[in-house]
Structure formats: C-alpha cells, structure tokens
Amino acid sequence: MKSVANISVIGRDRTGVVARVTQYLFQSGANIEEIEQQVMRGQFNMTLQASWSTVPLDRARVESGIHRLGQELRMEVRVRFLEAHAKQRMALFVTREPECPEAVVRAVKARKIPAEIGLVVSNHKVLQPIAARIGAPFLHADYADREKAEGKILAELEEQAIDWIVLARFMKILSPNFVWRHKNKIINIHPSLLPAFPGASAYRQAYERGVKIVGVSAHIVTMDLDEGPIICQDAFRVSPGASMAEIVKRGRQIEAKTLVRAIQLCLKKRLDIHWGVVHNV
C-alpha cells in the first residue's frame, strides 16, 4: 500500500523554492500527484500531494528532511501523512447562531457529508454544547487580541489534523495571515447574493434597500473580505410588507441548507478552483 502525504510550503516569495522541494521529493522516491502554487502580496504558497510506493517508507526520515529543507529555504513547512481510508476532518467555527452548525452536525451524522468534525472553535461559549454533544474538542478563542487568538487556533488546527475549516456563521474576520495558511480550504456562508452587500449586516442592507429577492452565498474564503470564489447560492422572494425579522428567519433557513451543500461539493471533490472561479467537475 502506498504512502501519501499532503505538504504545504509558505513564506516570503523567492526563486528556486518549487525546484528545491520537488527535487527533494523526487530523490526520496516520491510521485507528485497534485501541486498548486501562488504568489500574492509577496507571499508564496505551495500545496502538493506526494505518494511513495516504497514499502516500508521511513516517514520520519522523509518528514525531517522536508522540515530541514524548509529551514534552509526560510519557509514554513507542514507535512501530514494520510492514513488509508481515513475520513477528512473539519473544524466548525461558530459564534452564537446555531442554525448552520446544527445543520452541518445533522448532515455529518446522516453521512451526507463524508467527514468528521474534529474541532469546534468559537469566540464565545454559547454553542459549546454542540461540541460536547458530538464529542469534539471545543476551543474558545478570545478575540480581544486577534493575533494571539489566531495563533492559538492555528496550533490547535495542526494538532487536530484538520483538513477543512467551515465558518458556520463565525462573526469574526480572519486575517490574511490565517487565510493564507489554509488557502482554498475555508468555506464561509454569507447572507447575501454576493457580490451584493458584502461585510456586516447584509440582511439589514437588503431590507433598507427594499430588494425583492434576498439570498445567501457559500464561498471560499480569500484574503479579500467576501470576494472569494462562489461555490453555490440560493434565494427567496420577499413578500410585500415583510419585516426585517421575517427576512432574517427565512434567510437563516436557507443559509444552513446552502452551507451543507457547499461542504458536500468541496469534500466530494466536485469542484475545481481556477483563477479565482469555481468550476464543477
């Protein structure tokens, strides 16, 4: 049985990084199955999946060699070997609203989402019972100091071997430093038909503008707020004279359904992100 590892390389952009990493993997007997790289705002990010057919593989030697190379390149390197038939692991980021996280939990239990919830993160403790109910670790991060909070969260994501991050109405903005470390692996649900009404209070903006159709958008999170590739959307017509509370209530119902749908598409590898646009495959 072959060994498979996901490897990420992050740091200030410089020449020769791709060549050095791929050369090391080739010399270790690896076959590179997937590779993606990007430079943005002077920051380099490369993720790749490599496999080895050699049995047995000295994983410790390979991992230490990659980390040593990272030190030479002055790059941040992460290596995680994947176990055969292991489920993908998600982290649920929540704040106070229960509809979206509860919907994700139900979908996981019903096996509609091919993953397990390995961590629940929140800037409040209101939804801690969700984590207790499913037996997942709960991490409370105090966002009075965002840099400190994100450092704590990043360390726990690594400890829990998280593959995907799901922002289930998490009401805090993730920094570019955080997002860059999990590029194309963070799914968010936003209460508007993006690109309309980005940012906070989207339902209120729609209500005050008198829109006749209100919607939600599930999208990949990027370093630019609410501008990431859109995965899927849904909408409903606003009844004449509908109150703000009625709009929010209906919106939260389709938020939950749309977020679950987006997770399914991503985890079942039904999508491809190319030049900032999501394509069905």
190: amino acid identity, one letter: H
Give the Cβ contact number of residue 107 at 10 Å: 19
Cα distance between residue 143 and residue 149, in whole Å: 6
Asked if residue 187 lies in contact with residue 262, where contact means CB atoms within 8 angstroms, the answer is yes
State the alpha helices, DSSP H only, in the chain.
17-27, 59-73, 99-109, 128-134, 146-159, 176-180, 202-209, 244-267
Dihedral angle of Cα 127, 188, 163, 84, to the nearest 10 degrees: 100
**Residues carrying an active site annotation:** 226
Dihedral angle of Cα 198, 201, 204, 205, to the nearest 10 degrees: -30
CB contact set of 210 (below 8 Å; sequence gap of 6+): none
Angle at 161 between CA 168 and CA 33, to 5 degrees: 105
Asked if residue 205 lies in contact with residue 197, where contact means CB atoms within 8 angstroms, the answer is yes
DSSP 8-state symbol, 86: P
From the list 187, 183, 184, the residue with the least C-alpha distance to 169 is 187
Residue 280, burial from CB neighbour count under 10 angstroms (0-12, 13-18, 19+): exposed
Structure tokens at 119: 């961590």
